[in-house]
Amino acid sequence: MKRDIAIDYLRSSVIVVVVAHHAALAYNTFSHYNPSDYAKSTAPVVDTVRFAPLNWLVIWDDIFFMSLMFLISGLFVAPSIARKGVGQFLTDRTKRLGIPFVIGVTLLMPIAYYPSWALSDTAGQGGFLSRFFTIDGWSPGPLWFIWVLLGFCVLVAIIYQFLPNLMTRLFRSAESAGSLVAVSLAVSLIATIPMHLLGVPEWSDLGGPLHFPTSRSFLYFGWFLLGVALGQANLERSLSRQNLRPWPFWLAMGAVSFVALVICSGGNHGTNTPVWATRLPPAIAFSFCCTFTSLAALGLARSFFRTNWSLADHFSENAYGVYIVHYGFVTWLQFALLAQHMPAVVKFLITLLVALVASWFLTALLRKTAAKRVL
């Protein structure tokens, strides 16, 4: 299958944003650490020095980057199923996603969360591993995305098996720029508003490391389906520069929606204010920001990522591995920097750059072994 440079580089760029997001969690002003139960902290390591501008980075990218990742992951599902068949597609997806997930949550996540436990009140009692896999909840960290993506792939493969023409019909409703916005926004609104109004918990788990974001589960599945539908046809047509030409306007709309979300979320409501009146405006603003920022990112990538760069190609080849292994580098760097007297922004930049390069280097080494089959 012909490589799409714009989508390839966009996927790599989003993974850099993911690493930046995790690096910033220790240094924004609203993060907190719970020494009596480290698993309930907002991040494994939280420093005493903070940098307020990082608040906006964390809040903003949390709105859109996972939806965009699911959309990108869905773009090549239909061509893959058409080329391999449902059975081989599922076999390959299970190897590619399932093996790294199992290894990651069993070996990498305990390493990543050890600094968090070492800072807790229970550290002196020992037994970290037994607690991590049982009492402390066996967190998958960012690897929740991997198993949820595998589940989405299974669901779509079943749809293709029994309703092979459904995705084609979905794609036809999003062929033009205007309808692309309308369909994407509709997906976001339909998937987000009911969850906000019902007050669904942010996270749930099915046992063990199978944690998933309950409140955004339909949003992420909707964007994954949107990606599958768009990928049903040639991406150069469905996500062409012509279709994505309004991306500067979309970016502006995303920024305006973000400001609206901040205002709505911080409003003071009286005790007699109906629940729907406090939850509906933020849900709408969130949906608009998620949609327009994600579409703007697609348009920006299509406009500027048009030629190959050797360094970018190398990172792109290793980006999936960077996503899988980066979390341990981030938490241990944040832990090591706790005692260092330096500004929070410097600690953030050190954590981001070192974790990114170290993850990239480690992945490149692993890809010289049998691990290349799944990385």
C-alpha to C-alpha distance for 192 and 280, rounded to whole angstroms: 10
Average pLDDT over residues 202-216: 94
Q: Structure tokens of 122?
A: 């229970």
Number of domains in the chain: 1
What's the pLDDT at 270?
A: 56
Chain segment 312-355, per-residue pLDDT in tens: 999 999 999 999 999 999 999 999 999 999 999 999 999 999 99
What is the percent of the chain where pLDDT is above 70? 93
What's the pLDDT at 167?
A: 61
Q: What is the dihedral of CA 36, 37, 42, 43, to 10 degrees?
A: 100
What's the pLDDT at 49?
A: 97
Average pLDDT over residues 46-50: 97
| 175 pLDDT above the threshold of 60 | no
What's the pLDDT at 157?
A: 92
What's the pLDDT at 190?
A: 96
What's the pLDDT at 309?
A: 93
CB 147 within 8 A of CB 214: no
- Alpha carbon 330 to its chain centroid, in Å, reads 16
Average pLDDT of the chain? Answer: 92
The distance between the two most distant Cα atoms of the chain, rounded to a whole number of Å, is 63
What's the pLDDT at 125?
A: 87
Domain that holds residue 323: 5-373
The phi, psi pair for 204, rounded to 5°, reads -140, 170
What's the pLDDT at 159?
A: 86
CB 211 within 8 A of CB 144: yes
C-alpha to C-alpha distance for 232 and 247, rounded to whole angstroms: 22
First-residue to last-residue Cα distance in the chain: 18
Question: In angstroms, what CA-CA distances link 175 with 30, 111, 239?
Answer: 41, 45, 8
C-alpha to C-alpha distance for 201 and 323, rounded to whole angstroms: 26
CB 224 within 8 A of CB 73: yes
Confidence band (pLDDT; 50, 70, 90) for 274? confident
C-alpha to C-alpha distance for 353 and 189, rounded to whole angstroms: 36
Instruction: Flag the least confident range among 16-20, 26-30, 134-138, 156-160.
Output: 156-160
pTM summary value? 0.94
| 179 pLDDT above the threshold of 60 | yes
What's the pLDDT at 161?
A: 81
C-alpha to C-alpha distance for 156 and 140, rounded to whole angstroms: 24
| 242 pLDDT above the threshold of 90 | no
